[in-house]
Structure 1
Amino acid sequence: MATRAPHGSNQPPKIIVKKVYIEGHGGHHGGAWKVAYADFVTAMMAFFLLMWLLGATTEKQRKGVADYFAPTILNTKSLGIGGSGLLGGQSVTSSEKSGPHDGNSRMPTIVSKAEGSGGPQMGSGKKGSLRSPEAIAAEDRKNFAKLKQKVEQQLKERKSLAALAKHIRFTMTPNGMRIDLVDDANYSMFALGTTSLEKDASALIGMVAEGIRPTQNPIMIRGHTDSLPFGDPRAMNNWMLGTARAEATRRRLAQGGIPEQRFHRIEGVADREPMIVENPMDPRNRRVAITLLYREGAFGQ
């Protein structure tokens, strides 16, 4: 910028140059740092979400998520899979002749990878029958019938135990086959009010053990009593008696060769489930119930 020269002077005007520097508006008013910060927050959110998923899911669920992101490509041409679109899997430009329609589409299909292996009884059972619950239940019922027939036949052949035939009963239940060893007015399996097995009753349970031994079914034993009370229920009562008689029966079966792992439940129910409902004191309510349970996965389980 030029200024006017002093009056009456021939000096040239002075020129003043003014430089103005305009700084950029980066700094904290810019947007670049916001983008970087947003990326950082997004990454942290994804990280914490991943940590939460790892802690809140099971191994099986995590494997399912991993399998979802590891797809397998199926060759639809070799499998003969048609499409579901307007042309039903046919391609107007393809000359392939495979599958249910001429010219199947060869577009690959993405599916999740499925991996697995069979269990200890993978495949078919005897004579090609599948090991389904129904097949296992049918086999169990067949074994139960053989056991019943075997015990009844032995009772007929052994004259010393023939009189006990009316004291053993076989009943099919939703849980399996129940074998009831029942008292009456003239005979008791145990000495009255005790857990001591009579000699004939011990032999009868041993015979039952011989029939049970070849099977693989779990065993449940329940002790039942009549409703005759004890003098001092704090010292002895029907709950204790029923449980002790069930345990005495278990020990006798174990002596007959039944493995310990076969016993599924041993319990006493006192007089709460009488056989003769109208007369809780009837001696026929005193009994021990040995139940052969259906195997796991079979009917009733």
Structure 2
Amino acid sequence: MARGNNISNQRPIIVKKIVSAPPVVHHNGAWKVAYADFVTAMMAFFLLMWLISSTDEAGRKALAEYFTPTLVEMKKNNAGGKDFFGGNSILSDQDYRDSAGQIGAQAIPTPKDSSAASNMGFKSLKHQDREEFEKIKQRVAARLNKDQSLRKLNKNIRFTETREGLRIELIDESDFSMFALSTDTLLPPARRLLVEVAKAIRPVSNPLMVRGHTDALPFPSGRTMNNWMLSTARAEATRKALEQNGIEAQAFARIEGVADREPYAPNDIYDPRNRRISITLGWQKTPR
């Protein structure tokens, strides 16, 4: 009986096995933040593409100027505020302050829409130039039609508006030449034509440019003359003829020869029309 009680009073031995498992890593939604950043960047990219495709050149320039860091920094320094947009409203038409009370030292005010105002001034001057150019075309045509011997030269004169201004081109034909062959000597009909052109364009308020052109026919070997020298010499001869007929020397802004590099008939580099003189009345510069 005693032996049985001793056995029952002993505590059982329990063996506990602990198996280690890898720790569980919780991402806490960090991938969602990265994905949101990616979606935001893509949205900004497609918005930029849409703005570029749906705006004109002036609009794109305005956008570029708005986001230029130097301009943003200048706004913060001159606008006189510590909040976003330098204390100015996003809808404000004028981003800069011109009041001495806004900052400690009065800043030099930037004109409102200065670039736009400059463009408007240029367009206004360009419109005036176009009106004057049209009058010049009419005067030249009227002078040529007055003279029976010059009337047939109407086909040898072309008026073209270019980026540089109004270009008056005096063009050779198979039956008409401005200069003696391979020289810078003006022939009598061409000299008379230049007299009428000079009378029609004076007084000159726009910068005047004279450019000589030749065809691609090369000079014989052994000659010191070439098409570059010939085109430049003919441009200078034209300048002298215009100056002799009342065009002031200071009106000329540029005299140049381009040889056969700017052909009138690109498909035929030997076409006589490639031999010509271009007299360009440049656009007036926008006043500052």
TM bin (shorter chain): 0.5 to 0.7
Tell me the TM-score normalized by structure 2: 0.59
Do structure 1's residue 193 and structure 2's residue 167 form an aligned pair?
no
Residue of structure 2 equivalent to 1:170:
159
Offset of residue 215 of structure 1: 3.3
Residue of structure 2 equivalent to 1:263:
252
Offset of residue 112 of structure 1: 3.7
Q: For this pair of structures, how many residues does the alignment match?
A: 185
Task: State the secondary structure of the residue aligned to 1:160.
Answer: helix
Residue of structure 2 equivalent to 1:297:
286
Q: Measured at CA, do residues 233 and 278 of structure 1 come closer, stay the same or move farther in structure 2, by a change above 3 Å?
A: farther
Task: State the secondary structure of the residue aligned to 1:267.
Answer: strand
Residue of structure 2 equivalent to 1:213:
202
Residue of structure 2 equivalent to 1:277:
266
Do structure 1's residue 184 and structure 2's residue 173 form an aligned pair?
yes
After TM superposition, which residue ranges in structure 1, 4 or more long, deviate above 3 angstroms?
A: 107-116
Q: What pairs with 1:76-225 in structure 2 (closer than 5 Å)?
A: 108-110=101-103, 112-113=105-106, 132-225=121-214
Gaps of 5+ in 1: 1-67, 69-82, 85-106, 117-129
RMSD over aligned Cα atoms: 2.7
Distance 1:176 1:150 in 2: 18
Offset of residue 131 of structure 1: 8.5
Q: What pairs with 1:28-107 in structure 2 (closer than 5 Å)?
A: none
Distance 1:175 1:111 in 2: 47
Distance 1:160 1:288 in 2: 21
Distance 2:182 2:145 in 1: 30
Do structure 1's residue 286 and structure 2's residue 286 form an aligned pair?
no
Q: Is the 8 A contact 1:177 1:292 kept in 2?
A: yes
Task: State the secondary structure of the residue aligned to 1:184.
Answer: coil
Q: Is the 8 A contact 2:219 2:225 kept in 1?
A: yes
Offset of residue 134 of structure 1: 1.5
Which structure dedicates a bigger proportion of its chain to helix?
A: 2
Residue of structure 2 equivalent to 1:37:
none
Q: Is the 8 A contact 2:211 2:232 kept in 1?
A: yes
Distance 1:207 1:287 in 2: 17
Residue of structure 2 equivalent to 1:244:
233
Distance 2:222 2:252 in 1: 29
Distance 2:139 2:269 in 1: 33
Q: Is the 8 A contact 1:183 1:189 kept in 2?
A: yes
Identity %: 49
Task: State the secondary structure of the residue aligned to 2:255.
Answer: strand
Offset of residue 279 of structure 1: 1.0
Task: State the secondary structure of the residue aligned to 2:159.
Answer: strand
Gaps of 5+ in 2: 1-76, 78-86, 89-99, 110-118
